Amino acid sequence: MDKIIVENKTDLTLDRALEYVIAVIKGGRISDNGNCYCYHTEWDNDIHVSAMKNKNSDRFRVHREGK
């Protein structure tokens, strides 16, 4: 079973933040030799998504630059 954790550190609604996470997931596991989603993705509107691979889940942090 797949499990994801999403931390929304922005003023975006959760459904809008999830759109960014989904975009990263659709990009596939391209970091760490295909084992992790892109470690850091940023958009022109200052939205950033950082991805981390935990033992039993993938964690995504949606944030603004430097926050």
The percent of residues above 70 in pLDDT, for the chain, comes to 96
| Bridge partner list, 61 | 7, 50
- pLDDT confidence tier of residue 67, bands split at 50, 70 and 90: low
| Global confidence as pTM | 0.90
- pLDDT confidence tier of residue 38, bands split at 50, 70 and 90: very high
Q: Is the model's pLDDT at 1 over the cut of 60?
A: no
